[in-house]
Amino acid sequence: DGGITQSPKYLFRKEGQNVTLSCEQNLNHDAMYWYRQDPGQGLRLIYYSQIVNDFQKGDIAEGYSVSREKKESFPLTVTSAQKNPTAFYLCASSKRRDRGNEQFFGPGTRLTVL
Amino acid sequence: GENVEQHPSTLSVQEGDSAVIKCTYSDSASNYFPWYKQELGKGPQLIIDIRSNVGEKKDQRIAVTLNKTAKHFSLHITETQPEDSAVYFCAATLGRGYGGSQGNLIFGKGTKLSVKP
């Protein structure tokens, strides 16, 4: 059963803590993405990766970090430098990024800062 | 930079009626336009997409039209059903002028569709 999984579904963090959100795909896709979604807003791109060991900043990368050590995995770390981290985080993947960018999304992780 | 405007932000229709959601984009080099449906608490699902070399595409009750000259595209849902109730997002790709970001998607802010039985 192919798809994208994200864990955990809900995550609570105290101020000043770093947390890592997991994203795994078994679609054999080259490109992976992290988006942030706030109420009433569209999806905003945090980071993206076209291939293993390479990633690029998106529109709102400050306070976040990523790694891409395996093709299947693209974890996102929300650091204490992110001023307003409470949001719904979505991971996506696509076969290629440069032509007809059909992206498939995971179920999301809702992060709440206490 | 590239901007995607989506209207309306909320739309309420009676079951069986049609629903139309419109988006405009600013980058004339955009070449791919997907539509996503997002149910509460879930990730977006791709429901239909269109490429810049096509003017219209249909899939059962949903259709998308693209006007490249005017830089706008629309989602049409006919014979709406209560299960169509969700938030719908349009998106457009960044074109060649955006260098390494070419191919990334820019999303509209979404339309909350409510279908009343």
- Across the interface, do B34 and A98 touch by the CB < 8 Å criterion? no
CB A55 within 8 A of CB A48: yes
Q: What is the mean pLDDT of residues A36-55?
A: 92
For residue B61, the distance in angstroms to the closest alpha carbon of chain A comes to: 21
DSSP 8-state code for residue A52: T
pLDDT at A100: 66
pLDDT at A99: 59
Name residue A82's amino acid.
Answer: Q
- Across the interface, do A107 and B42 touch by the CB < 8 Å criterion? yes
Tens digit of each residue's pLDDT (9 = 90 or more) over A50-86: 999 999 999 999 999 999 999 999 999 999 988 899 9
Please provide the DSSP assignment of B8-50 as one string: -SEEEEETTS-EEEEEEE--TT--EEEEEEE-TTS--EEEEEE
CA distances for A68 relative to A11, A29, A33, B112, angstroms: 22, 13, 11, 34
Residue of B nearest to A90 (CA): B43
Tell me the sheet residues that pair with A22. A7
pLDDT at A1 over 60: no
Binning pLDDT at 50, 70 and 90, where does residue B96 land? confident
pLDDT at A98 over 70: no
- Across the interface, do B46 and A104 touch by the CB < 8 Å criterion? yes
For residue B53, the distance in angstroms to the closest alpha carbon of chain A comes to: 12
Tens digit of each residue's pLDDT (9 = 90 or more) over B34-43: 999 999 999 9
Name residue A58's amino acid.
Answer: G
Report percent pLDDT > 70 for chain A: 94
pLDDT at B48 over 70: yes
Assigned token pair, A111: 């992060």
- Across the interface, do A90 and B44 touch by the CB < 8 Å criterion? yes
Q: From CA A98, how far away is CA B100, in angstroms rounded? A: 9
Q: From CA A62, how far away is CA A83, in angstroms rounded? A: 9
pLDDT at A97 over 70: no
Grouping H, G, I as helix, E, B as strand and the rest as coil, residue B72 is strand
